[in-house]
Amino acid sequence: MSKLERLLEELSPNGVEIRCLDDCCNLLDKKRKPITKSMRVVGEYPYYGANGVQDYVEDYIFDGTFVLVGEDGSVITKSGTPVVTWAKGKIWVNNHAHIIEEKQGVMLRYLYHYLQTIDVTSLIHGNIPKLTGKDFKSLKIVVPPLEVQRQIVRILDNFTELTAELTAELTARKKQYEYYRDELLNIKEDKNIKHVVLSDIANIKNGKDYKHLSNGVYPVYGSGGIMTYVDEYCYDKPSVLIPRKGSLSNLYYVETPFWNVDTIFYTQIDEKVVIPKYLYYLLQKEHLENLNTAGGVPSLTQTKLNNVKLILPSLQKQKQIVDTLDNFDAICSDLNIGLPAEIEARKKQYEYYRDMLLTFAETGGIIRQTDRQTDRQTDRQTDRQTDRQTSNN
């Protein structure tokens, strides 16, 4: 018999309570205040909406620890559960997120985990998805004794902490890569330096529709990456692909024949003055998404791109920088493959244990793993994480 089973048998021999959410927490929706984007003054306090932080503002209306649940807009996940956010400290919340705080007898952290298991698909109404206050307050919550809640929260928080550590490590690695890339590309003035604009060294070309083509081996690029493969190509030399609409930071370097659609430009590069791969790294540093000219879907124009100012060292220096960045990029790519895969595995593991533990709390049924086994597993994960961090330092 596991510790949870013993606790339930001892503290709740006649079963656990099922309450409406309204009885489990304090609902603070009446204190929310939306601020239109034009009226917001930039500051240090997070401004929350339906799916997390939307902005940072100069003031706050809540100070404490809260759970936010999306009310309208992006309010439901692919699995049909609500969008749930943990928020702590001084914050501002608009009217697109329900906000709750802890009430005696039910841990807020327990509610945070539990709300992520409830299928609210049938409760979402309207053209703009909405989880109304009435439906939200009526959600059924299984409420085991506090000691059982604490044990469940302890186990689940072990998994979320591991995921947070891995995510932080991935973010740090990306920032480290960007720092070294930018340092290498910050060229000091000398007699071999050329000051140019992009149109001096590359012709920017539009993409074309591919739907008249047959399936084949040549990749078709859009602003989000490879869309499909066709039997013809529009260009067969090294090129930097620059999004015209959509994800403007998604630059691609392509050396083999390809086709591109009208959401992404390709470049015909003058290789007498610039190495194509060097131009790719250089344009990454320029953060072209800052040239966005649209208020809706992000967009770039050829005029804006043609006038981007660049500094070019000698071809020999360019090659040295490219070789260095390629080596560093290969190391980072290994991390960028391994860490996201591990993060995804930890998330799935968390979801498995969350659903298993919270179902157990409701039914009192025997779970397949004891607390001791779960503790050993999370301890092993923590040890592996510590070993990896040590080896990387």
CA distance 89 to 62: 8
Distance, CA of 94 to chain centre: 21
Q: How many other C-beta atoms lie within 10 A of the C-beta of residue 170?
A: 17
Note down pLDDT in tens along the chain; length 393 residues.
Answer: 456 566 666 665 566 788 999 999 999 999 999 998 889 999 999 999 999 999 999 999 999 999 999 999 889 998 899 999 999 999 999 999 999 999 999 999 999 999 998 999 999 988 889 999 999 999 999 888 888 888 888 888 887 887 777 777 777 777 877 787 788 778 777 777 899 999 999 999 999 999 999 999 999 999 889 999 999 999 999 999 999 988 888 899 999 999 999 999 999 999 999 999 999 999 988 888 888 876 667 888 999 999 999 999 999 999 999 998 888 777 766 665 666 777 777 777 667 666 766 665 555 443 333 343 444 444 444 444 434 443 444
Which residues are registered as beta bridge partners of 99? 68
Amino acid at the residue 273: V
CA distance 176 to 178: 5
Distance, CA of 122 to chain centre: 27
pLDDT at 44: 95
pLDDT at 27: 97
pLDDT at 358: 62
Which residues are registered as beta bridge partners of 65? 88
Distance, CA of 72 to chain centre: 20
Distance, CA of 74 to chain centre: 15
Tokens (6 digits) for 16 = 């656990």
